[in-house]
Amino acid sequence: MKEAKKRNNIIDLYRFIAAVMIMFCHTDLLFEKTYASYMFVDFFFILSGYFTVAHFAKMRASASPEERGKTAFSYTAHKFLPFLPYLLLAVPITYFARNINLLTSGGLGAFIGGFRDMFSEIILLPVTFFSYPIRQLGPLWYLSALLVAMPFFCYVCQSKYRRFFGIIGLVFAYFFYVSIPVISAFDPVSCVLKAFAAMFIGMFIYDVVQEFAKVKLRKWVLAALTLIELGGITFAVASAFIDPIYPPHIQLVIYIIVLIISLSQQSYISRIKCNFLSFLGKLSMPIFIWHYAVGRVIMYHVQPTSSPVKRYLVYFGGTFAISLVSYLVIEFVKKKQIFTKKLLVEK
């Protein structure tokens, strides 16, 4: 009997695709035109919920509220610390790119004062305590909302009544996505509620996957599910470029279907093993953080009259290049620290 695995390389590919699609959503930094790919942020929320539930499913449900709380905050810190090196690089660069123009228009005082809100963005506070306009890296609302919601979600995952809370959470998610318009979902409270709603959908997907993965399917059913998975992710991508814009509820249903098939490995493509796809998945986080910084630099320092092709090349090429370089450097530093600790232990 086959059990659902925690993740697979196709999910890593989907994470990379989602990060690239979010880049298209923010092409308004380059031109007035943008694309309706904002729902791929919810895709990341859902995955966060799924893998959080998968992590705590391996642990014994704690009867002690204190122990659950301690574990919840520990897990949240463990998940968010890897973002810090990228934030320490991307946020100051973005503020500097904006403030350098203040040296000529407002002097040194205006230049220094322009960094006032930088620290709050680095530690992911803007969406929770400050108003939307001060953020230089707009997409950080996703991380800010997740940072607030994650400890509470982890606490629920450790409860012996987790399935009961999962049903309540799924009902809440339904009413949230039906009731909250997309435009109004960017105020601080709605952002956190969106994180909760999507993560509870991830919890629902996890429970379905655990049962669906045990079913032995015929080859023709696997082939049919493969076509459904490929068709679903293709439609999700293509719909961002289609007028009129499809309702977000349709996109959400597609995500649920695709993820259930893929995470349960009940399709042929979900069983593909490829280290390169895993590498692409690891690049999704730096791409998500860096793309808006690159877009801001273009907005502040590349002439609006320049060639659209040039601006696109700088935006996508610059984002991929700096994401790759920063990822490799940060990973090298991590390994170097581990190697140094081993030497100290041996000595």
Q: Which amino acid is at 244?
A: P
pLDDT at 71 over 70: yes
Range of the domain at 109: 9-346
Q: How confident is the model at residue 221 (pLDDT cuts 50, 70, 90)?
A: very high
In a domain, 1, yes or no: no
In a domain, 3, yes or no: no
The pLDDT tens digits for 109-125 are 888 888 888 888 888 87
In a domain, 251, yes or no: yes
- Residue found under tokens 């998500």: 288
Q: Which range is most confident: 48-62, 201-215, 232-246?
A: 201-215
Residue 154, CB-side half-sphere exposure with 13 Å CA sphere:
24
DSSP state of 307: -
The pLDDT tens digits for 190-201 are 888 999 999 999
What's the pLDDT at 133? Answer: 43
The pLDDT tens digits for 79-102 are 999 999 999 999 999 999 888 888
In a domain, 183, yes or no: yes
In a domain, 2, yes or no: no
In a domain, 128, yes or no: yes
Number of domains in the chain: 1
pLDDT > 70 in the chain, percent: 86
Smallest CA-to-CA distance from 188 within 139, 132, 226 is with 132
In a domain, 25, yes or no: yes
Q: What is the pTM of this model?
A: 0.89
Which residues have a Cβ under 8 Å from the Cβ of 139 and sit 6 or more positions away?
Answer: 22, 26, 41, 288, 289, 291, 292
